[in-house]
Structure 1
Amino acid sequence: MNGRLPSRSREFAAAALAKPRIAIVVGMTSEARIADAGPDLTIIGGGSAARVEAGLAQAHRRAADQGRPLQGVLSFGVAGALAPHLRPGDLLAPVVVMAEAGVFPCHAGWAGHLARVLPGARTGALLGADAAIVTPERKRRLHQERGAHAVDMESHGAARFAAENDLPFAVLRAVADPQERAIPPAALAGFRPDGAADGWAVLAALARSPGQTAALIRTAFDARAAIAALLGSRRLLGGFFGFDQVV
């Protein structure tokens, strides 16, 4: 053998190399399954911007070592509404991410493509928070003070990393909890740092405080609407979340 790939194999190899390398940042393993980007390109933040940045740095180094550097970063998953008009299942394609460390604009072409392709997608500003925003009063105050429409706990870490490494960045999130609804402590108890759900922790929290049951059921229905919206957006956007169309 001369060590060369057969012609058909060379075509497949060239096609693989031509595929965009997009890192997908999520909060939970359920979101990672929807994104379906593969373990090398999926960073599960588990509600920690620091964990997001560390995971992106590792993925960036690994991709460079493979000779196929990262080309963009997308924050994907659920978010909480700060604006009163947002409802569970509404899709968000913000133009900017706000955080204590600064304001990070999203890639105009990529964010614009998401807003055009996804029916009813909202733009505006997303706020990055280092702790869960769980009460209606806090949500209303942040909306009034910061002007952000929604909040999550991973996008600001992804935005900061992308800015520092000169990578195109965009956000695609779906509203899980509306402004007027509090998130019960039992729901937070089931959220592990590795992004996996802990059903036993939820049951234990309910056993200690069974009065949360009705609120937890409402939260579950809201989350189901958000997950359905993410699944639909994934089908509409294709394998590279529209990156290959605009960047």
Structure 2
Amino acid sequence: MSGFIGIVCGLKSEANAVRASLKAAGVDVSKVMIGVSGANADRAEEIAQGFLDDGAKAIVSAGLCGGLDPALKSGELVLGERVVSAKGDIVIADKALAAAADKFSPRHVAIFGSDEIVDCTEKKEALFQRYAAETVDMESHGAARAAARAGVPFIAIRVIADGAARALPKAALRAVTPAGGVNVANVLLDCIKQPQQFEEIFALGRDSGAATQTLRREFGGYLGAFLAALGL
């Protein structure tokens, strides 16, 4: 397969939302391939490289993210105009794709690509100050590295799930499986051990659910614009 856009998501739920959004927007799904990496930048890079080997014309990182900038609210869709990491990587979003996205007026942000879960507000504040990044995820920097190495357009479309003021409960830290699913048993076991986490998990679930709905509602329009910009 050639002449398509490769989309990298961290979670299966994100990929499902992307598929539903593409269908609702009437996007030609024969020009799209979707991969799920789990919360793992190396795996995201492998998936993106696989797409590139198969002839992808662009790589898109899509899904949820954490907020580092207090001005960003849960459920807000953002465009990653650059991706930075602790290794010093800096990947700039493709100008043509960013211009195509701007008809939807997304907020442009810098994404910090983290190799570990950013679970507390202190860590979020430190990343915001040190890297001037407004958001954080665990996949975009891997996908961006593969695209940059190949000289292929890259862009990230993400939705804020946990805002800068929200810490992640311990029960959430073992929730995501390597395949990008959710280990409900782990979450319940941790909450049973520390019942006070139930309220925090429910609140995080509400925010993540709302963010996923934003992705489902809006992403298809962006992808359609990207396909048009690439002449696909």
TM above 0.5, yes or no, is: yes
Mapped contact 1:20–1:244 kept (Cα < 8 A): no
In 2 relative to 1, CA 77–20 (structure 1 residues): closer, same or farther, beyond 3 Å?
same
TM-score (structure 1 length as normaliser) = 0.83
Among 53, 63, 72, the residue aligned to 1:86: 72
- In the alignment, what sits opposite 1:191? 176
Shift of 1:235: 4.1
Mapped contact 1:93–1:172 kept (Cα < 8 A): yes
- In the alignment, what sits opposite 1:44? 36
- In the alignment, what sits opposite 2:81? 95
Shift of 1:49: 0.9
- In the alignment, what sits opposite 1:30? 13
Aligned sequence identity (%):
29
Mapped contact 2:39–2:139 kept (Cα < 8 A): yes
TM-score (structure 2 length as normaliser) = 0.89
Shift of 1:55: 1.9
Distance in 2 (alpha carbons) for counterparts of 1:57 and 1:126: 20
- In the alignment, what sits opposite 1:76? 62
Matched, 1:202 2:194: no
Aligned partner of residue 65 in structure 2, secondary structure: strand
Mapped contact 1:96–1:104 kept (Cα < 8 A): yes
Shift of 1:219: 0.3
Mapped contact 1:72–1:169 kept (Cα < 8 A): yes
Aligned partner of residue 177 in structure 2, secondary structure: coil
Name the amino acid aligned to 1:156: H
- In the alignment, what sits opposite 2:91? 104
Distance in 2 (alpha carbons) for counterparts of 1:160 and 1:241: 24
- In the alignment, what sits opposite 2:208? 223
Shift of 1:245: 2.4
1:153-193, Cα deviation, whole Å (9 max, x unpaired)? 00000111000011100100000001011011112222111
Mapped contact 2:7–2:34 kept (Cα < 8 A): yes
Distance in 1 (alpha carbons) for counterparts of 2:219 and 2:128: 28
In 2 relative to 1, CA 137–198 (structure 1 residues): closer, same or farther, beyond 3 Å?
same
**Unaligned segments of structure 2, at least 5 residues:** 20-28
Shift of 1:106: 0.5
CA root-mean-square deviation: 1.8
Distance in 2 (alpha carbons) for counterparts of 1:181 and 1:55: 30
Structure ID, larger Rg = 1
Aligned partner of residue 196 in structure 2, secondary structure: helix
Mapped contact 1:93–1:115 kept (Cα < 8 A): no
Distance in 2 (alpha carbons) for counterparts of 1:60 and 1:22: 9
Aligned partner of residue 7 in structure 2, secondary structure: strand
Higher relative contact order (CA 8 A, sep 6+): 2
Among 224, 227, 232, the residue aligned to 1:244: 227
Q: Which runs of 4+ in 1 moved over 3 A?
A: none
Matched, 1:57 2:49: yes
In 2 relative to 1, CA 204–243 (structure 1 residues): closer, same or farther, beyond 3 Å?
same
Matched, 1:234 2:226: no
Aligned partner of residue 177 in structure 1, secondary structure: coil
Distance in 1 (alpha carbons) for counterparts of 2:165 and 2:73: 10
Number of residues of Structure 1 aligned to a counterpart in Structure 2: 219
